[in-house]
Amino acid sequence: WTAGSGWSQDQLTKHSGTFSYRRDTGAATSSQNIQLKAGTYTVSAWVKTQSLGGNNTGVRLTFDQRPGGVFSWTPSDLLTGTNDWTQITLGPIVLAADQAVAVMLENYNNPSGTAWFDDVVVQQMQPAAADVFMLYPNFRGMLFDDQPQTLQFDVNVTPPGGDFARYSIQATIKDEASGQVIAQQSTAAAAHVVATVDGTAMQAGRGYLATVSLIDLSSNSSVYDYPAYRVSKVPAAARSTMNVSVDAKNRVLLKGVPRFILGVYDAGLGYSSDPTFWENTLWSATGDRRMGGMNINMYLNYWYGQAPVDAMTALMANLQQHGVTYLQTGNCFDKYPADGGFLINSSDAYVQQLAALPGLAGFYTADECLAGLQPGVFAQSLRLRQLAPATVTFSALLGNPDLTLWRDTVDILSTDPYPMYGAEPSGGYALTQVADWTSRARDAVKNARPYMTVEQFFQFTSLGRFPTQTEMRNMAYMAIVEGTHGLFWWSLGDNALLAVCSGWCDQKTGYMNNLKSVVNEIAALEPVLLADDAAGALTTNSNTAIKTKVKVVGGKGYVFAYNSTNTSQNATFGWNTAPGTVTVNAEGRTLAASGNNFTDTFGPSAAHVYVIGNGGGGGTPPPTPDNPTAAFTVPAPNATVSAVATVTVAASGGSGSGYSYTLKVDGTTVPGTGPTYSWDTKTIANGAHTLTATVTDSAGKSGSATLAVSVSNTTPPPATNPTVTFTAPTANATVTGATTVTLAATGGNGLGFGTTYTYGLKVDGTAVTGTGASFSWDTTKVVNGPHTLTANVADPMGGTGTATQTVTVSNVATPPPPPTGTLKVFVTQPTGGATVSNTVWAVMWLEGSTAASKTYTLTLGGKAMGSTTTASNGPVSMPYDTKMVVDGSQPLMATVKDASNNTGGSTVNVNVKNGIVTPPTPVLTAAFTSPASGATVTGTTTVGMSVSGSTAVSKTFQLAVDGTVTSTQAVSGTTASYALDTTKLTNASHTLKLTVMDSAGGSATTTQSVTVANIVPLTAAFTSPAAGATVSGTSTIGMSTTGGATATSRTYRLSVDGTVASTQTVSGSSASYAWNTSGVANGSHTLSLTVTDTAGGSATATRSVTINNVTPPPATGTIKVYITQPTGGTVSGTQWVVIWLDNAAAGNKTYTFSVNGTTVATGTTSDRPASLPWNTASGSNGTTTLTVNVKDASGNTGSGSVGVWVAN
Instruction: Please tell me the CATH superfamily of domain 925-1012, with its number.
Output: Immunoglobulins (2.60.40.10)
Give dist(CA 209, CA 754) in Å, integer: 9
Give the per-residue pLDDT at 389.
92
Q: pLDDT tens digits, residue range 726-782?
A: 999 999 888 888 899 998 888 776 443 334 678 888 988 888 887 778 898 888 777
Give dist(CA 1102, CA 1089) in Å, integer: 6
Q: pLDDT tens digits, residue range 880-907?
A: 888 888 888 888 898 999 999 899 998 9
Q: Nearest-CA neighbor of 724 among 796, 790, 771, 808?
A: 790
> 620 falls in which pLDDT band (50, 70, 90)?
very low
Give the per-residue pLDDT at 394.
98
Q: For the domain covering 820-912, report its CATH number.
A: 2.60.40.10
Measured in degrees and rounded to the nearest 5, phi and psi for residue 99 equal -165, 160
- pLDDT reading at 592 higher than 90: yes
Q: Nearest-CA neighbor of 262 among 225, 282, 238, 291?
A: 291
Contact partners, residue 572, CB within 8 Å, separation at least 6? 540, 541, 542, 543, 597, 598, 599
Give the per-residue pLDDT at 141.
95
Q: For the domain covering 7-125, report its CATH number.
A: 2.60.120.260
- pLDDT reading at 109 higher than 80: yes
- pLDDT reading at 818 higher than 80: no
Give dist(CA 700, CA 679) in Å, integer: 26
Answer for the pair 851, 900: CB distance below 8 angstroms, yes or no. yes
Give dist(CA 153, CA 269) in Å, integer: 45
C-alpha separations of 401 from 75, 443, 862, 889 in Å = 17, 10, 52, 58
Give dist(CA 132, CA 157) in Å, integer: 9
According to CATH, the topology of domain 1120-1206 is: Immunoglobulin-like (2.60.40)
3-state secondary structure at position 362: strand
Other beta carbons less than 10 A from residue 1180's beta carbon: 12
Sorted by where each begins, the domain ranges of the chain are 7-125, 130-234, 257-528, 531-612, 628-711, 723-799, 820-912, 925-1012, 1019-1107, 1120-1206
Give the per-residue pLDDT at 951.
67
* Per CATH, domain 1019-1107 is 3.30.230.70: no
Task: Measure CA of the first residue to CA of the last residue in the chain; give whole Å.
Answer: 72
Give exposure, 588-615, as e/b (b: 16+ Cβ within 10 Å). Answer: eeebebeeeebebebebbbbbbbbbbbb
- pLDDT reading at 1000 higher than 80: no
Q: pLDDT tens digits, residue range 43-83?
A: 999 999 999 988 889 999 999 998 877 778 899 999 999 99
User: Do the domains spanning 628-711 and 1019-1107 agree at the CATH topology level?
Assistant: yes
DSSP states of 535-574? GGGEEEES-TTEEEEEEEETTEEEEEEEE-SSS-EEEEEE
| Class of 531-612 in CATH | mainly beta
Q: Nearest-CA neighbor of 469 among 516, 531, 416, 533?
A: 516
Q: For the domain covering 628-711, report its CATH number.
A: 2.60.40.10
**E strands within 672-768?**
676-680, 687-696, 702-711, 723-728, 734-735, 738-746, 758-763, 766-767
Q: pLDDT tens digits, residue range 386-430?
A: 999 999 999 999 999 999 999 999 999 999 999 999 899 998 999
- pLDDT reading at 1012 higher than 60: yes
For residue 281, the 8-state DSSP code is I
Mean predicted confidence (pLDDT) in 184-205: 95
Q: Nearest-CA neighbor of 858 among 893, 811, 812?
A: 893
Give the per-residue pLDDT at 656.
57
Give dist(CA 847, CA 535) in Å, integer: 94
Q: In what order do the strands lie in the sheet with 7-10?
A: 7-10, 20-23, 114-125, 39-52, 81-95
Answer for the pair 840, 864: CB distance below 8 angstroms, yes or no. no
Give dist(CA 1186, CA 1157) in Å, integer: 8
Give the per-residue pLDDT at 1208.
76
Give the per-residue pLDDT at 595.
95
Mean predicted confidence (pLDDT) in 661-679: 85
Mean predicted confidence (pLDDT) in 299-314: 94
Give the per-residue pLDDT at 490.
97
Mean pLDDT of the chain, nearest integer: 88
C-alpha separations of 861 from 84, 454, 739, 909 in Å = 40, 52, 20, 9
By mean pLDDT, which of 476-485, 1046-1055, 1145-1154 is the weakest?
1046-1055
What CATH architecture does domain 130-234 belong to?
Sandwich (2.60)
Q: Nearest-CA neighbor of 884 among 843, 858, 916?
A: 916
**E strands within 407-479?**
413-415, 451-456
92 class by beta-carbon count within 10 Å (0-12 exposed, 13-18 middle, 19+ buried): middle
> 1111 falls in which pLDDT band (50, 70, 90)?
low
Cis peptide upstream of residue 637 (ω within 30 degrees of 0): no
CATH classification for the domain delimited by 257-528, as one of 3.30.70.890, 2.40.50.140, 3.20.20.80, 1.10.540.10: 3.20.20.80
Give the per-residue pLDDT at 86.
96
Helix (H) or strand (E) holding 239: helix 238-241
Give the per-residue pLDDT at 999.
64
Contact partners, residue 1043, CB within 8 Å, separation at least 6? 1015, 1016, 1017, 1018, 1019, 1097
- % of the chain exceeding 90 in pLDDT: 53
**E strands within 871-939?**
876-881, 888-898, 903-912, 925-930, 936-937
Give dist(CA 578, CA 619) in Å, integer: 7
Give the per-residue pLDDT at 1134.
83
Q: pLDDT tens digits, residue range 225-267?
A: 999 999 999 999 899 889 999 999 999 999 999 999 999 999 9
Task: Give the residues across from 649 on adjacent strands.
Answer: 632
C-alpha separations of 1025 from 639, 1126, 1128 in Å = 80, 18, 15
Mean predicted confidence (pLDDT) in 1072-1095: 83
Answer for the pair 898, 849: CB distance below 8 angstroms, yes or no. yes
pTM here? Answer: 0.57
Give the per-residue pLDDT at 701.
85
Mean predicted confidence (pLDDT) in 344-372: 94
Give dist(CA 122, CA 606) in Å, integer: 42
- % of the chain exceeding 70 in pLDDT: 94
Contact partners, residue 659, CB within 8 Å, separation at least 6? 628, 651, 675, 695, 696, 697, 698
